[in-house]
Amino acid sequence: MDLDHPYDIAPGGTTARADADDHLRDLIELILFTSPGERVNRPDFGSGLEQLVFEPNSDILAAALQGNVEASLQHYLGDRIQLEGVAVENVDSTLRITVSYRARRDGRQRVERFEQEF
């Protein structure tokens, strides 16, 4: 069991824990929604998604973001997941990000979906 993200207190007053599947999802979410430069000791950590909030939402933005997300996930989680695909859709003022991967510990395929409104 790993620490849950965001940090929380469990009903018994201890630190909340996450199972292995939930922890991997938390790690992916952290990479997606952390901006490079935000972490003091890891200035290149993150995908830069949050920095794009002021850019006009378009198919070009979605394609650029897809490349950034794939590179960031491979770099930071390549030892934990085998990335099978990242799809970024531009729908109105929302970017929908779908990440398909296999956890290296058990080989099971997982698909996680995230949304960011602009």
- CATH number of the structural domain spanning residue 112: 3.10.450.40
pLDDT tier at 95, thresholds 50, 70, 90: confident
Judge whether residue 94 has pLDDT over 90: no
Handedness of CA 61, 87, 76, 27 (dihedral sign): positive
pLDDT tier at 13, thresholds 50, 70, 90: confident
What pLDDT was estimated at residue 12? 87
- Give 52-77 pLDDT, tens digit per residue: 656 676 777 777 888 888 999 999 99
The predicted model scores a pTM of 0.83
What pLDDT was estimated at residue 54? 61
Tally of structural domains, the chain: 1
- CB within 8 A of 59, min separation 6: which ones? 90
What pLDDT was estimated at residue 6? 67
How far is the CA of 100 from the CAs of 2, 72, 110, 112, 115, in angstroms?
Answer: 22, 14, 6, 7, 15
Range of the domain at 21: 2-117
